Every structure is written in structure tokens, then in C-alpha cells.
Amino acid sequence: MATLSVHAHAKLNLGLRVVGRRPDGYHLLQSTMVALDLADTLLFTVKGTRSVVHCEPECSIPPKDNLVLRALQAILSRARADVGIEVTLRKRIPLGAGLGGGSSDAAAALVGANCLLRLGLTDDELHALATKLGADVPFFLGPSPAWMEGIGDRLRPTPVQLPAVFLLLLPPRGCSTPEVYRLYDAQGHPWSAPSSPQATPTFDNDLYPAAATLYPELNGYRQLLAQDPHTTGIGLSGSGSCLFAAYPDRSLAETAKARLNGRTDANLLVAAPTPRGYNILK
């Protein structure tokens, strides 16, 4: 029986600017994005004629919202035979954190099915499928770090002076992306002026005021991270709720994590940059 495993990596937005809005309501963004070694694992098996997704630990996602299942259906429509794939999804990336876990899983599903079934789809063909699945999905198919524009569909590799590691602070509940954008619009923030990629990101995020309105505890979490003089910057990833602190050395990040353990109800993880949003395991 044919099987395959793929790591689906998390991402951080090293700053995020909202530079406009399309007539269809989608916001136009600019962001430097980086993949992390924090990853979900997808185990693929060719089985029968119907695709199914099992999640560990169990998470209830309606089929219409299950990006892995939608990715499988999209790519299997390109297969010559009536075939199904069973996927066991082992989650480590928390939902609603702004780390792109669902999008990363979808990209890994496209890559895994293409490889397992030897469909031979090109990078451009996979990118076209990814764009239809969600704004962040295309990023996970290419190299990291990358400069993102538009609604996530325009990407190019960009040289960035990356920190050695990040300390991730993961609050006990996530932020609703649609609600954060709704609050952003309601607060009447002016669009940021379009810019070019920065060699040294500043970690500014235009969505932070809206996310902190939705989840006021973010301000307290941010203050906790800011107490450490060794961090080189603090930011919010995507629409939240994950906050991150950048460090030039893993030992400094691990020390900060140990100091904060027991002082917060948030989960704390140390993660390092990785050069791509997926990794096919041999």
C-alpha cells in the first residue's frame, strides 16, 4: 500500500501592512513571511475511491471548511484514475493563532498527493490550485522567507536578516480572522503606504489594534515578552493570537521561556526559521 509523510510548517508574519481593499472586500496586504520548524505531520495512504481526513488530536472541522480535504479533492480531479487518499493529520500548530496551520496543511496535501500519485503537476499548477484554496496557501509551496503582496497570491523570495529563533507565546484562545478584519475596518484605520521589503523587519502589524480590541489580554502578554532586554523585537503574527519575540541565540530564548513558565496561562514554544513551508519525509 502506497504511503507518504509530509511536514507542514507554521509561518510568522514579520510585520504586516494593510495597503488597500479590493472591490470584492478582500484586503490588500504586504508582509515578510517566514516558515518555522514548528510543524504538523500529514500521513498519506492511497485507499479506495473516497478521500478522508483524520485529525489527531481530534478536531471537528466541517468538510466545507476542511482545507486538507478541499486540497485533496482539487488535486485528485487532475488524477487519471478514480482514487482516494486517506490522511491522518497530526496537529501541533494551534488553530486561530495566525500561524497558518490550516493553510500549511492544505499546501502539504497538494504536495503529498502530487508526489504519492506521481501526477507530475508543475509548481505553477500547484500554485494555481493553492490560490483557490486560501490566501496563505501559496506561501507554503515556495522558499522562505518571502515577500507577500496582494491577498497572499503574489510572492517572491526576499533576503532578510532573520533572528536565530523566536519565542512563540500562544494564548489559550485564538483570534477570529474575519472578526479582526471587521474591527480593523470599523476602527477606521487609514491604509498604510505601500513599501518595499526590509532587510531588517520591524515587526509592525497594522492589525494589532483590532486584535487587541477583540482580545484585550494580548496587551498583557506583550508586556510580559517586552520585559526581557535580550529580545530584538516583538510582533503579532497575522491576525493573531500568537505573539512572538525574536532572539539572536536559542539559549536566550530558552531562558526567557523558563522565566515565563508559571507566570502566564499561555503556551510557550521556541521555533527557528526553516527554508520552506513543507518537507517530504523519506
C-alpha angle with apex 212: 211 to 216, nearest 5 degrees? Answer: 135
Per the DSSP assignment, residues forming a β-bridge with 34 are 12
Q: Where are the alpha helices (DSSP H) in the chain?
A: 67-76, 101-116, 123-133, 177-186, 208-214, 217-226, 250-260
d(CA 123, CA 33): 19
Q: Which amino acid is at 211?
A: A
Catalytic residue among 40, 105, 136, 206: 136
In the block, cell 482580545 appears at: 215
C-alpha angle with apex 264: 259 to 269, nearest 5 degrees? Answer: 65
Check if 204 is active-site.
no
What stretch of H or E contains 33? Answer: strand 27-46
Contact 168, 256 (CB under 8 A): no
What stretch of H or E contains 169? Answer: strand 165-170
d(CA 38, CA 41): 10
Catalytic residue among 11, 40, 105, 206: 11
**Chain length of the chain:** 282
Q: N- to C-terminal Cα distance for the chain?
A: 16
Check if 136 is active-site.
yes
CB neighbour list of residue 109: distance below 8 Å, 6 or more residues apart = 42, 67, 68, 71, 72, 75, 87
d(CA 212, CA 185): 14
Task: Determine phi and psi for 40, rounding to 5 degrees.
Answer: -80, 165
Query: What is the β-pairing status of strands 154-157 and 165-170?
Result: unpaired
Catalytic residue numbers read 11, 136
